[in-house]
Amino acid sequence: MAPQIGQLFSKQTQSIFFNFKQKPVQRMLDFDFLCGRATPSVACIVQPGSSGFQKLFFGSEEIAIPVYPSTTEAAKKHPTADVFVNYASFRSAFESTQEALEQATIKVVAVIAEGVPEKDTKKLIAFARANNKVLIGPATVGGVQAGAFKIGDTAGTLDNIIACKLYRPGSVGFVSKSGGMSNEMYNVLSRATDGLYEGIAIGGDSFPGSTLSDHCTRYQNIPQIKMIVVLGELGGADEYSLVDAMKAGKVTKPVVAWVSGTCAKLFKSEVQFGHAGARGGGADAESAQAKNAALRDAGAVVPESFEGFEAAVKETYTRLVDEGVISPAPDVVVPEIPMDLEAATKAGKVRAPTHVVSTICDDRGEEPTYYGVTMSELITGDYGIGDVLALLWFKRKLPKYATKFIEMCLMLCADHGPCVSGAHNSIVTSRAGKDLVSCLVSGLLTIGPRFGGAIDDAARCFKEACDKGLAPPDFVEGLKRQGKRVPGIGHRIKSKDNRDKRVELLQNYAEKFFPATRYLQYAVSVEEYTLGKAANLVLNVDGCIGALFLDLLSSSGAFSAKEVDEVISIGYLNGLFVLARSIGLIGHALDQKRLQEPLYRHPWEDVLYTS
């Protein structure tokens, strides 16, 4: 660090933020707003592989901060942003920091990551020194210039920033290794003095990018700083550079210092404390006791213990006020920052209506549940797809015979050959080279009143007629008078003597297992009547499923009469056909892709051109 460097930041300082983290960026912007900054302190974000914008708040206004894929590009677009806040992991911190240091426009780089290899940091230190740049960290929370600029998570929550009066400059320059302790000390300084001017946590590594003495000599060059407070730590010899600077007259402002780690003498063998650079059992000169003594000897105010630190700071501050060196910084009114909805909700301060209601499942707990039934129970218990459907569609467990019946419906309706309209559409779409989902939905979109959609209608009509006690001939003729066909009756191919096997299977099953088959009986008697009119007016599979579902709903004991009406009117039963047929439609789409069938074109010969 060049000796003449003083102020690193101002109220106009803007930064480039590397590796987006929502919280620290938002905290920087909130700090800006508290300080009454006109511009946000984050000019842009670098996120390798991304571009576009990130939405954040500046006060109550939402702003879009540009995102660039590379630091070089970001620096080119934002040449006035001279601070680089690096949230890269320890694995990639070196490359990203090196790239930032190489940008002519970037002057200060803060590296947050903990665990950056020593060799990497040393290369960065050498490059920064050779190019007159300031490196803060690694393994740091950063730093803050009160009322001007804040790095990342420094100084924590808004409440804390306000409590420490960090929204306006005081008279104290502070530097320590520990990020956590700097925040603690900002509180101490707000009690014992008129507050912080600038504070830097240099990080806990053995070789920090910039040192305690680097920042102290810098503070010497900042006129607004009237006194310097230093919190050192055992291990390393950095404190001695400060001792030397004080003895050489390079630091003449009052220094109040404490070096922690006096407890190291309690340990018999070498102990690695929380910070990588804090290692007991090293040379005697690296002990807290020796460093405290050296600092005291060089003229610093050094208390007897950490407990006495606050009083020592206060004493020095009061003396400087009495001597007229410090005129206490006046307090200012800070604008109120709206609470984040999430925080306010958590604190019970706001309530907001939800926009979505869901009653069938929950994915918030240890494992997802379908209507209260856990995945474990589904997999280890005797559950099938029919049971899943019962839980998610009907919101209840149904007896085994009922869920088995649902599964039979799904199996029987899964496919009906390549020529029906749904399958044909899926085939044509697949051959047009479209993706699977397009193939599936093009087939599904044909399902309606003429194709596959008759289950609901049949159930509705049979139910109404049967419940009214309408005689089958009256029912059929009644519909005929309205110009309607009887839903669930009639088949293109099947006839009286060539019954639909699917209908037969369902009928046999229901007669064997259902408690009652009143609606099926009614449908059969309708069929008896219609067969008298034409041989192909048989009960088809839609009609059979419709009637049997009515029997299932009303005889299983699981549904009230009102619920049965609801199931029929909402259109649950067509859902069965849609679900089942999706299996077949996907099959057809995949089949065509596997066969690499070319684009389908309908032959001219097969079209009647007329006018």
Partner 1 sequence: MARKKVREYTGKRLLREAMKRIAAVELPINVAQVTQATNYPDLLAENPWLNQVKLVVKPDMLFGQRGKNDLVGLNLSFDEAEAFIRARMNKEVVINGLSGPVTTFVVEPFVPHEEEYYLSIQSGRLGCDVSFSTAGGVEIEENWDKVKSVELATGQAPTSAALAPLVASLPLELRPKMEAFIRNCYEVFDDLDCSMLEMNPFTLDPKSGQPFPLDIRMELDDTAAFRNGPKWGEVEFPLPFGRTLTAAESYVAGLDEATGASLKFTVLNPRGRVWLMVAGGGASVIYADTVGDLGWAQELGNYGEYSGAPNTQETYQYARTVIQTATANPDGRGRALLIGGGIANFTDVAATFKGIIRALREQADAIKAAKLRLFVRRGGPNYQTGLAAMQAVGAELDIPVEVFGPEASMTGICARAIDYIKVSAS
Q: Which residues are catalytic?
A: 275
CA 325/CA 164 separation, integer angstroms: 22
Q: Does 266 bind partner 1 (CB under 8 A)?
A: yes
Q: Does 261 bind partner 1 (CB under 8 A)?
A: yes
Two structure tokens written together for 40: 């946000």
Q: What are phi and psi of 501, to 5 degrees?
A: -60, -35
Task: Please pick, from the candidates 304, 336, 367, 477, the single residue that binds partner 1 as defined by CB under 8 A.
Answer: 304
Q: Does 196 bind partner 1 (CB under 8 A)?
A: no
Two structure tokens written together for 474: 């009256």
Alpha-helical (H) ranges within 42-135 are: 71-77, 93-101, 118-130
Q: Which is nearer to partner 1, 216 or 440 (CB)?
A: 216
Q: Does 157 bind partner 1 (CB under 8 A)?
A: yes
Q: Does 275 bind partner 1 (CB under 8 A)?
A: yes
Report, in Å, the least distance between residue 109 CB and partner 1: 17
β-bridge partners, 175: 200, 230
Q: Which of residues 169-188 bind partner 1 (CB under 8 A)?
A: 176-181, 183-184, 187-188
Using DSSP, how many helices (H) and how many strands (E) does the chain show?
Answer: 23, 16
Q: Which of residues 342-361 bind partner 1 (CB under 8 A)?
A: none
Residue 491 CB coordination number (10 Å): 18
CA 205/CA 125 separation, integer angstroms: 13
Report, in Å, the least distance between residue 40 CB and partner 1: 20
CA 216/CA 212 separation, integer angstroms: 6
Report, in Å, the least distance between residue 457 CB and partner 1: 55
Q: What are phi and psi of 313, to 5 degrees?
A: -65, -45
Distances (CA, A) of 113 to 18, 188, 365: 12, 27, 32
Beta-carbon contacts of residue 252 (< 8 Å; ≥ 6 apart) = 220, 246
Q: Does 126 bind partner 1 (CB under 8 A)?
A: yes
Report, in Å, the least distance between residue 160 CB and partner 1: 6
Q: Does 26 bind partner 1 (CB under 8 A)?
A: no
Residue 516 CB coordination number (10 Å): 13
Report, in Å, the least distance between residue 349 CB and partner 1: 13
Binding-site size, partner 1 (CB under 8 A): 67
DSSP-assigned letter for residue 279: B
Report, in Å, the least distance between residue 255 CB and partner 1: 19
Task: Please pick, from the candidates 262, 374, 438, 525, the single residue that binds partner 1 as defined by CB under 8 A.
Answer: 262
Q: Does 165 bind partner 1 (CB under 8 A)?
A: no
Task: Please pick, from the candidates 76, 77, 122, 468, the single residue that binds partner 1 as defined by CB under 8 A.
Answer: 122
Task: Please pick, from the candidates 26, 72, 206, 525, the single residue that binds partner 1 as defined by CB under 8 A.
Answer: 206
Q: 3-state DSSP helix/strand/coil percent for the chain, to nearest 5?
A: 45, 15, 40
Task: Using CB under 8 A, list all residues that contact partner 1.
Answer: 23-24, 90-91, 114-119, 121-123, 125-126, 129, 141, 153-157, 160, 163, 176-181, 183-184, 187-188, 204-207, 211, 231, 233-234, 260-263, 266-279, 281, 288, 304-307, 310
